[in-house]
Chains A and B, each alone.
Chain A
Amino acid sequence: MSAEPHYTLYHPRWYRRRVSVWWWLQNRSYTWFVLRELTSVFVAFFAVVYLWQLRALAQGPEAYGLFLLRLKTPLFLALDTVAFLFVLFHAITWFHLTPKAMVFQVRGKRVPDWVIVGSNYAAWLVLSGAVAFTLLRG
């Protein structure tokens, strides 16, 4: 390492701070932000499990049975729970961020944020209800 350059008359000598690797621990909202970014890993996890499920289904009833057995192991149950919590966090944070990105005008007036967030939750409830209905009916 060479020594710091010395001051030269009439030349600026700026000090540039380096961003710490731990910048995201410096305040709570940065930490929440990084956690939110991290949720994508768990969304991906669910997608992979789903693909795995499809593959097992294609391989026949035996393979599918084995797949279901594996899902019931404590390791998978634990993983699923963590992943579910992260996905829930993902959904809720993004629901609340939607009105920032999508501004709707009705008769020249901006639709209030709570209406947009509320309609996200409403859509979520309706879809969940439909899924529950389909599953529980059988």
Chain B
Amino acid sequence: MPSTVALTVARYRPERESEPTFQTYEIPFRKDWVVLDALNHVKDELDGSLSFRWSCRMGVCGSCGMKVNGTPKLTCATFLSDYVPAPIRVEPLDYFPVVRDLVVDLTDFMRKLKQVKPWIIRTEEKPPAEGEYLQTPDQLDTYKQFSMCINCMLCYSACPIYGLEPSFIGPAAIALAQRYNMDSRDEGAAERLKILSEHDGIWQCTFVGECTKVCPKHVDPAGAIQQYKLTGATRWVKSLLLPWGTR
């Protein structure tokens, strides 16, 4: 194993340059280091002006998503040893506007998340004092997978549709909508379907499937969207055949 590794990092300093450049740092190679450790080494020891987001360093806060050698990754869960002796190239996530260096703007996702109403919708709410809504382990299993999304944005960065049609609501937000639809305590599926059947919703997805592949938490947003399409199509056919029955 080599003792050092070349880490090439995308830099973008909006106050002095109009487009990104690349800068290469020579960093020590350690077997236990993840890409994020290497970035922190740069920031602490070599160049304090490198900007990136990070927090938990255990793959659950979703802050440190970046492109490593072309693939969207959580840098806190991507080991240098998976790449060396080859050089490592770190870039900001694709399809989001770059604010600075490796930091991208997430305003668009935050707006879309709210748009899909990711909260429990019920016609009648039971006061907490009356106890829990019952939910069997099997009912929990039907949506649990979709509730594991950490909002790391890797799926958006892997989705060429989002790149081409930025208005597309996108994988994570739709998966979260589906998470609530499938929750036995929720009654908001019809309300969400109305929003998601619109132009920017599920039908924009052409099932590239990359979102599911890059998801670090195995949420399977592609699956969520296809299931959603099936529900949407079934409802549409039903409304054609039985216009009085779906009200």
* Chains A and B share a contact (CB less than 8 Å): yes
A residues lining the B interface (CB < 8 Å): 4, 7, 12-17, 19, 23-24, 26-27, 29-30, 33, 37, 97, 100-103, 105, 108-110
Expressed in whole angstroms, the Cα–Cα distance for A113 and B117 within the complex equals 30
Interface size on B, residues (CB 8 A): 35
Residue B55, interface by CB 8 Å:
no
Q: A23-B163, A30-B210 are in contact. Are A14 and B223 (CB under 8 A)?
A: no
Residues of A within 8 A of B105 (CB): 12, 14
B residues lining the A interface (CB < 8 Å): 12, 14-16, 18-20, 70, 94-95, 97-99, 105, 136, 138, 141-142, 160, 163-164, 206-210, 212-213, 220, 222-223, 226-227, 229-230
Expressed in whole angstroms, the Cα–Cα distance for A97 and B97 within the complex equals 32
A-B contact count (CB 8 A): 76
Q: Are A7 and B206 in contact, CB atoms less than 8 angstroms apart?
A: no
Q: Are B160 and A97 in contact, CB atoms less than 8 angstroms apart?
A: no
Expressed in whole angstroms, the Cα–Cα distance for A27 and B95 within the complex equals 16
Partner of A97, one of B141, B209, B210: B209
Q: Are A4 and B18 in contact, CB atoms less than 8 angstroms apart?
A: yes
Nearest CB of B to A21, in Å? 10
Q: Are A23 and B97 in contact, CB atoms less than 8 angstroms apart?
A: no
Q: Are A15 and B12 in contact, CB atoms less than 8 angstroms apart?
A: yes
Residues of A within 8 A of B138 (CB): 108-109
Nearest CB of B to A130, in Å? 27
Residues of A within 8 A of B163 (CB): 19, 23
* CB-nearest residue of chain B to A105: B142
Subset of 20 A-B contacts with CB under 8 Å: A4-B18, A7-B16, A12-B105, A14-B105, A15-B19, A15-B20, A17-B98, A19-B160, A19-B163, A23-B164, A26-B70, A33-B160, A100-B207, A100-B212, A100-B226, A101-B226, A102-B230, A103-B227, A110-B141, A110-B142
Nearest CB of B to A121, in Å? 19
Partner of A14, one of B95, B99, B206, B229: B99
Expressed in whole angstroms, the Cα–Cα distance for A15 and B97 within the complex equals 5
Nearest CB of B to A34, in Å? 9
Q: Are A100 and B220 in contact, CB atoms less than 8 angstroms apart?
A: yes
Q: Are B14 and A12 in contact, CB atoms less than 8 angstroms apart?
A: yes
Residues of B within 8 A of A14 (CB): 14, 97-99, 105
Expressed in whole angstroms, the Cα–Cα distance for A103 and B210 within the complex equals 20
Q: A101-B226, A101-B227 are in contact. Are A16 and B206 (CB under 8 A)?
A: no
Q: Are B70 and A27 in contact, CB atoms less than 8 angstroms apart?
A: yes
